[in-house]
Amino acid sequence: MEVTNRYTVIKHHINGAPEESDFELKPETLTLSIEPGKKEMIVKNLYISMDPFQINRMKDRSSSYEPIKYSGSLIPGEAIYGPGVGKVVVSDNPEFKKDDIVSGYLSWGEYTRTKPEYQLTKVDTMGLPLSYHSGVLGVSGFTAYAGFFDVCKPKKGEKVFVSSASGSVGNLVGQYAKLFGCYVVGCAGSKAKVDLLKEKLGFDEAFNYKEETDLKSALKRYFPDGIDMYFDNVGGKMLEAAIENMNTFGRVAVCGVISEYTNQDKRAGPSMVDVVYRRLTIRGFLIPDHMHIYNDFFSTTVNYLKNGKIQVLEDISHGVESIPSAFVSLFRGSNVGKKMVQIADD
Amino acid sequence: MEVTNRYTVIKHHINGAPEESDFELKPETLTLSIEPGKKEMIVKNLYISMDPFQINRMKDRSSSYEPIKYSGSLIPGEAIYGPGVGKVVVSDNPEFKKDDIVSGYLSWGEYTRTKPEYQLTKVDTMGLPLSYHSGVLGVSGFTAYAGFFDVCKPKKGEKVFVSSASGSVGNLVGQYAKLFGCYVVGCAGSKAKVDLLKEKLGFDEAFNYKEETDLKSALKRYFPDGIDMYFDNVGGKMLEAAIENMNTFGRVAVCGVISEYTNQDKRAGPSMVDVVYRRLTIRGFLIPDHMHIYNDFFSTTVNYLKNGKIQVLEDISHGVESIPSAFVSLFRGSNVGKKMVQIADD
């Protein structure tokens, strides 16, 4: 049996902010059968996660990011891979059978032809929506959990600031921090997002950074006693302002630097004098280094979800042709919560 | 008995690089006797340590640095205190008697009238020169030891970069790192200093940063396999260049930021993208937080000194009137090793 598999590629390397016109959809004819002996599979993609870090792979020089296979620099015209959830259509891999739900690196297309080294894992949905396995129970959730618990090492009652707080990772950091017993303030880029953080997600406070002319004073207002932990998704001026408001022994977990991704000149110039005198730690992290707490993350988060303790914010586009606009939206701040593309119903 | 005690003050707050004319010597008549009951002492100052951090106390706004008593903002016309070694002249404190050698915060003058809360400690010279207790066995030595061992957490064979490598702290970081089994490269600001690092102190390599037009390429040349630890004494462009050359899981111990002390606009703009992707940790530190390894530091260093394993680099000026020029020299890079002022022979 043959199908048409449409998949997304970049037409050329992208150095600034991405535009929809940088992408195109390529069709290929895919035979739904596997030559035996190589443990390959064909997976029908269901949900594809949209993540800002992918922009770094689209640049015209090799990124230094190579910790996860298939995540080096992208070649124009070739398939893009990213986290996602799919269903096995054909399997020559004894670990998987037809109709198994799997998660891992899938193509930004309708089908993925997988090799054993892709390290897909079988998903037990546990009665939760499939999309959760591409968001709150996937890379975004684990990034929030690992960054908050393993990098920041919080104590109850500490004061936490989260930027991009309505984004896929930030909203969960704030929710984990509240559940843990911290005071949490988030910033976001619109009144609707700010309302959502305070009213739906239980943040203690939230503010619209676009309405603040002086970020340092804004943070001083929300943290009169200083910030103990800053979960940084953006870098730039916000990082500078946070550093100047941090308490002694404050920790900054740097998860992403969206301001630098599309404009290298937008680097933060944090006060290193404050870093020394307040003995601050600024630490970049990636989740493959935190697998020792993966089981904790998964069971804790499943429990929270089943008990309604965590609100799931998803922003889902539909159809493979919506991948470019979905990805571009991440850099325009128009997503709310986890941005993903549902490729097929099942 | 009465003596004239001359002590150094700032005439006014200092916001840029310090000049000798910013200081003056004030005389006072000091009676060498103590009113009983307050546990006070009079100490004759022998060696006074010159430390760049003092400039931050001379600025016209309160520094955030308050971990050590008597180290808040300075008031023009009032005595300056800093680390030093002296000899007890008169004591009403039962823990000390006349002629005891003590170390701790002393005034930048000929005598210090001490109160119990100054927390002076009695010095057992152990046959080593007194000046060592104001340098290699004092704040500078402990800063190097704590920063290298407790902040950087080195592994044998790792690659270490030290800026201000001929300075009081940097030269010792390099020597500790070599003794521990690391590859060590230092930078300094003159050919004479570079020669000293390579020929006398045993650094694997050293370079004159003033001769490099592109610090990033310079570091790439000396660290073709990348930097594992950067002991940062300067901040600014050197920090940026080091970050871009660091290996995965690299650590930056920030001990001082001399480039920022006298010019706030000279902030580093390190690539936070590198911080994330290489999972770097940038950590500021101050020695009061590392007292748990003080005994290790002291016994290890005394052993090294007695066995000739550590070269002691001292740059000693003489007489209380030389304090301004000695202090100012720190910001001109004209000192080699530990800058201190010998106030009296004994």
Q: What is the predicted pLDDT for the residue at B263?
A: 76
**36-75 in B: which are within 8 Å (CB) of A?**
56, 63-65
pLDDT, average across residues B205-229: 97
pLDDT, average across residues B154-170: 97
Specify whether the CB–CB gap between A118 and A104 falls below 8 A. Answer: yes
H helices then E strands: how many in chain A? 10, 15
Whether pLDDT at B80 is above 80: yes
Please give the share of chain A, as a percent, with pLDDT higher than 90: 83
Chain A CA closest to residue B251: A283
pLDDT, average across residues A287-310: 96
Q: Cβ separation of A286 and B280 shorter than 8 Å? A: no
Q: What is the predicted pLDDT for the residue at A74?
A: 87
Q: What is the ipTM of this complex?
A: 0.89
- Each residue's pLDDT tens digit, A43-99: 999 999 999 989 988 987 654 444 333 457 888 999 999 999 999 999 999 999 999
Q: Residue B274 is nearest to which of A64, A255, A285, comparing CB atoms?
A: A64
Nearest to A287 by CA among A14, A51, A34, A4: A51
Chain B CA closest to residue A289: B279
Around B265, how many Cα atoms within 13 Å sit in the side-chain half-sphere?
2
Q: Cβ separation of A273 and B260 shorter than 8 Å? A: yes
Q: Cβ separation of B235 and A272 shorter than 8 Å? A: yes
Q: Residue A276 is nearest to which of B277, B280, B284, comparing CB atoms?
A: B284
As given in the structure block, the two tokens for residue A321 are 């042709």
Count of other CB atoms within 10 angstroms of residue A295: 9
B253 Cα to chain A: minimum distance (Å): 9
Cα-based distances in Å from B275 to A14, A76, B128, B278, B315: 22, 27, 43, 6, 37
Q: Cβ separation of B280 and A283 shorter than 8 Å? A: yes
B274 Cα to chain A: minimum distance (Å): 8
B338 Cα to chain A: minimum distance (Å): 20
Whether pLDDT at B64 is above 60: no
Average pLDDT in chain B? 93
| Chain B environment of A247 (Cβ under 8 Å) | none
Q: Residue A276 is nearest to which of B254, B267, B269, comparing CB atoms?
A: B254
Average pLDDT in chain A? 93
More confidently predicted of A16 and A155: A155
Residue A291 forms contact with B (CB below 8 Å): no
Nearest to A43 by CA among A88, A2, A10: A88
Residue B233 forms contact with A (CB below 8 Å): no
Cα-based distances in Å from A120 to A82, A115, A286, A300, A335: 12, 9, 19, 22, 27
List the single best residue of A68, A276, A285 to mutate versus B (max B Cβ within 10 A): A276
pLDDT, average across residues B210-228: 97
Q: Cβ separation of A271 and B276 shorter than 8 Å? A: no
Q: Residue A280 is nearest to which of B270, B271, B284, comparing CB atoms?
A: B284
Residue the block writes with tokens 């016994």: B299
Q: What is the predicted pLDDT for the residue at B61?
A: 64
Say how many residues make up chain A: 346
B137-141: long-range contacts, CB 8 A cutoff, minimum separation 24? B137/B298, B137/B301, B137/B302, B137/B305, B138/B49, B138/B83, B138/B85, B138/B103, B139/B49, B139/B51, B139/B83, B139/B287, B140/B49, B140/B51, B140/B168, B140/B169, B140/B172, B140/B338, B141/B172, B141/B297, B141/B301
Nearest to A299 by CA among A185, A137, A189: A137
Q: Residue B268 is nearest to which of A254, A269, A283, comparing CB atoms?
A: A269
Count of other CB atoms within 10 angstroms of residue A291: 11
Residue B275 forms contact with A (CB below 8 Å): yes
Instruction: Identify the band that residue B67 occupies on the pLDDT scale cut at 50, 70 and 90.
Output: very low
What are the strands, taking DSSP E only, across chain B?
A: 2-10, 23-31, 41-49, 81-91, 101-107, 111-114, 121-122, 159-162, 183-188, 205-208, 227-232, 246-254, 281-284, 314-318, 338-342
A234 Cα to chain B: minimum distance (Å): 10
Q: Cβ separation of B254 and A275 shorter than 8 Å? A: yes
| Chain A environment of B264 (Cβ under 8 Å) | 271
A278 Cα to chain B: minimum distance (Å): 7
Q: Cβ separation of A286 and B279 shorter than 8 Å? A: yes
**Angle at the Cα of B36 from the Cα atoms of B34 and B40, rounded to 5 degrees:** 55
Q: Domains of chain B (ranges plus CATH)?
A: 2-136+313-342 (3.90.180.10), 139-288 (3.40.50.720)
pLDDT, average across residues B325-340: 94
Count of other CB atoms within 10 angstroms of residue B180: 16
Q: Residue B272 is nearest to which of A254, A273, A289, comparing CB atoms?
A: A254
Whether pLDDT at A311 is above 70: yes
List the single best residue of A244, A273, A285, A291 to mutate versus B (max B Cβ within 10 A): A273
Q: Cβ separation of B254 and A261 shorter than 8 Å? A: no
pLDDT, average across residues A260-286: 87
Specify whether the CB–CB gap between A99 and A91 falls below 8 A. Answer: no
Question: Dihedral (C-alpha) A82, A87, A92, A98: value to the nearest 10 degrees?
Answer: 170
As given in the structure block, the two tokens for residue B275 are 């911080």
CA distance B243 to B237: 10
Whether pLDDT at A9 is above 60: yes
CA distance A262 to A43: 32
Q: What is the predicted pLDDT for the residue at B71?
A: 54
Identify any residues that bridge with A3 across adjacent strands, giving them in sequence order.
A30
Instruction: Identify the band that residue A334 occupies on the pLDDT scale cut at 50, 70 and 90.
Output: confident
Residue the block writes with tokens 């939206």: A329
Instruction: Identify the band that residue B139 occupies on the pLDDT scale cut at 50, 70 and 90.
Output: very high
CA distance A236 to B278: 18
Residue B152 forms contact with A (CB below 8 Å): no
**Stretch (H or E) spanning A282:** strand A281-284
Q: What is the predicted pLDDT for the residue at A63?
A: 46
Residue B269 forms contact with A (CB below 8 Å): yes
CA distance A168 to A49: 10
Instruction: Identify the band that residue B145 occupies on the pLDDT scale cut at 50, 70 and 90.
Output: very high
Q: Which residue type occupies A8?
A: T
CA distance B331 to B167: 11
Q: Which residue type occupies B202?
A: G
Residue B280 forms contact with A (CB below 8 Å): yes
Chain B CA closest to residue A269: B269
Whether pLDDT at B63 is above 60: no
Q: Which residue type occupies A318?
A: H
As given in the structure block, the two tokens for residue A109 are 């297309």
Q: Cβ separation of B277 and A286 shorter than 8 Å? A: yes
CA distance B227 to B245: 6
CA distance A104 to B26: 73
Q: Cβ separation of B279 and A285 shorter than 8 Å? A: yes
Q: Cβ separation of B282 and A275 shorter than 8 Å? A: yes
